Amino acid sequence: MDMMEGEDNTNNKKEYSLVKIKVLFFARARDLAGLSEMPLEVSSGSTTHDCLKKLLVKFPSLEEIRGCMVLALNEEYATESAIVKDTDELAIIPPISGG
């Protein structure tokens, strides 16, 4: 019985451990957020989608570019299912046009 309780404690610690990432905002995303970068803490095992949901709560104006933004994780394009790890950099990149 003691072993089972110990295992439960280990699982609880794992569930509640946090990772700290750096979020970078570019172009229109930077304008909408009012920041060029910020730290973000998420639960261990979180995806870039989870991070984005947290950012949309904090910065609802980002919804304006939600459908067309691109995510990059550690300077490589990423899907919303990519898992973030401690010290990762997540970039929010809006559509860029030019002539």
Question: 1-36 pLDDT, tens per residue?
Answer: 444 444 444 444 445 699 999 999 999 999 999 999
- Of the pLDDT bands very low, low, confident and very high (cuts 50, 70, 90), residue 98 is low
Contact 92, 24 (CB under 8 A): yes
pTM of the model as a whole: 0.81
d(CA 80, CA 15): 21
Contact 45, 84 (CB under 8 A): no
Give yes or no for residue 62 having a pLDDT over 70.
yes
Q: Beginning with the edge strand found earlier in the chain, give each strand of the sheet holding 76-78 in spatial order.
A: 37-43, 18-25, 89-93, 70-73, 76-78
94 forms beta bridges with none
